[in-house]
Structure formats: structure tokens, C-alpha cells
Amino acid sequence: ATSADAAKIESDGGISKISDILTEAKAADEVAKAEQIAEAKKKLEDKHAEVLEAIKNTTYLSDEDKETLKNEADASLEAILKNLDGVKNSGDIATVVRDGEKLLDGKKSKVEFCDNEARMEQGNEAGTALDKKKEEIFAAIDALEYLTDEERAALRAEVEAAVEAAKGKINEALSSEEIAKATEDGMSVLDGVSDKAVTMDLYNAKEAAVAEIQSEKKKIDDTVDAFVYLDDTSRKSIKDKLAADLLVAETNIAGAATVLEVKTIRDNCLGGFTAINDDALLREDSACVDMLRPILIALCVIGILEAVALVLFLNGGDGWFVNILAMVLFGVAIGVLICL
């Protein structure tokens, strides 16, 4: 071969070596790129896993809210990984990783924020429910008829204290379950105060009803004692009936379960007392008439005798018999009057 041919062969060999070097370098670059992308994906997936773990560890989010946040994190990771497909160099990979981690950190922060918001919302809802219950019980206490002002004030103070105690436990709660438990316990205490108020009102109603019927019985007893004409047997009969009715009413009132029952028993007893009192008055009037009837009859006889005597004396003439008869009749009339 000529010297020119030799030079050409040497030149071609050099070019081939360069080409091989370039091919090897390109292959190595692709491998390095693939490794960097794999490493980038691992970092991003780890960051995504942190977000999912944060969602899992939330305390106050509902299952629906958790699912929504998980779907957002999954969609973010998918979009970030797609961005890696178009990278051209290590700088692009680093940019994608940096932006992706920032985005996923934002998602993690959102999870924490949403959990805190859910906690505040649940706490506020619980507090609102307790306040509503408080106002309902206040209204119920005010509507109770037989409580004293002091008792109402004391019961309202108990309600206020129960609500504040429950809200304190809600503020200290570390989970939705603890908030629910604190709320439930608070409601239970409030129901207890409400039941206590009803029991106190019923007790006072019974006391008032018994006092009222006892007072009415005493009035009728005093009226009967003041009667002038009624005999002792009749007086005792009336007072015994009053005492028996009072005892029945007191027993029934003691066993009454509601204020309405107490009022019904009281009213029935008072109605019975009114009937007894009316009957007693009639019996007193009748006794009075029975006692006065002979007197009235005697007075009528006296009047008649005196009238006859007067007529005989004035119009009987001088006959001694007529005069004597008139004087006798007049004497009899005087005698009857003295006997009265």
C-alpha cells in the first residue's frame, strides 16, 4: 500500500476510536442519568410517603377528608414524576426534585393545617352544642312553677359550671374521640342538673299542695267549731270526713310523679272540701231552724192568745165570766213567753 493509503487507514482508526469513546461516554451518561432519575424518584416517593404517613396520623380528619388529601398527594407525585421524563441534564433533574419536594412539603403542611382546622371545628361544634343545651335547660328551669329564686340561681350556676368543665376537657382533648367523650359527658351532667331541677320543682309542688289543703281544712274546721246550733256528733262527723279526705290526698300527693298529678289531686281534694263545707253550712242552718221552730210556734200561740184576750176584754161587756177568761188567756200567754 502507498503511504497515502497508510495515512488514510491510520486516520480511519482514530476516528473509529473517537466514535467508540463518544458512544461509551453517551452510554455512561445515560446510565448516570437513569441513576439520577431513579434516585430522584426515590426521594420524591419518600417525600410522598411522608405525606401519606401524615394523613394516616391525623387525629381529627374524617375518612372522606383523608381520602381527598391522599388523592391530591398522589396526583402531585404523578405530575412531578412526569416532569422527570423530559429532563435533559442533572440540573433539570435537581430542579424537578427541588420543586417536587417543595410541592409535597406543601401538601404535608396542608394535611397538618386541615387537621388543626378540623380539631378547631369539632371543638367549636361541641362548644356550640353545649351552649345550646345550656340555654334549653335555662328555659326549662325558668318555666318550672314551684322553684324559688334561690333554687333557680343555684341550678343555673350548676349548669354554667358543667358547661365550662366540659369545654375545658374539650380544649385538652387529643383526638376526635376525646372531644366526643368530653361532649357526651358534659351533656350527661347537664341532663342530670335538668332532672334535679324537675325533682326539686315536684317536691316544692307537693309541699305547696299539702300546705294548701291543710290550710283549707283548718278553715273549715274553724268554721264548724264556730257553729252555734250543730250538735257535737254532727261536728265530729264533718271533721272526721275532712281528716280522712286530707289523709288520702296527702298520700296520693306523696306518690305523684308529676306536677300535673299533684295539681289534679289538690284540686279534687279542695273540691271535696268545698262540698263538705257547703253541706256543713246547710246542716247548721237546718239545726238552727229545728231549734227555733218551737219558739216560733210559741210566739204564734202567744200572739193568738193575747189577741183573743184583748178582744174579749174590750168587747165582752160587763160579764164577770168574760173578764175572768180574758185575764186567764193573757196570763197563759205571759207564762208561755216566760218559759221561752
> Cα dist. 44→96, 102, 108 in Å?
10, 10, 13
Q: Is the pLDDT of residue 277 over 80?
A: yes
Cα 179 from Cα 172, distance rounded (Å): 9
In the predicted model, is pLDDT for residue 81 greater than 60?
Answer: yes
Residue 10 has pLDDT above 60, yes or no: no
Q: What distance in Å separates the CA atoms of residue 197 and residue 190, rounded to the nearest whole number?
A: 11
Q: Give me the pLDDT at residue 14, please.
A: 58
The predicted model gives 7-29 an average pLDDT of: 63
Residue pair 83/100 in contact by the 8 Å Cβ criterion:
yes
Is residue 280 over pLDDT 80? yes
What one-letter code names the amino acid at 139? A
Determine which of 117-121, 177-181, 254-258, 285-289 has the lowest per-residue pLDDT on average.
285-289
User: Is residue 75 within 8 Å of residue 51, measured between CB atoms?
Assistant: no
Cell of 301: 200561740
205, with CB counted inside 10 A (0-12, 13-18, 19+), is: buried
Statement: residue 332 has pLDDT above 50: yes
Degrees to nearest 5, angle at CA 58 with 56 and 61: 105
Q: What is the dihedral of CA 333, 336, 338, 340, to 10 degrees?
A: -140
Are 57 and 108 in contact by the 8 Å Cβ rule? The answer is no
Residue 307: the pLDDT is 61
Burial class of residue 193 (count of CB atoms within 10 Å of its CB; 0-12, 13-18, 19+): buried
pLDDT exceeds cutoff 80 at 30: no
Q: What value does the mean pLDDT of the chain take? A: 84
Mean pLDDT of 73-90: 86
The whole-number pLDDT of residue 270 equals 95
Report the amino acid identity of residue 210. V
Residue 43 or 318, more confident: 43
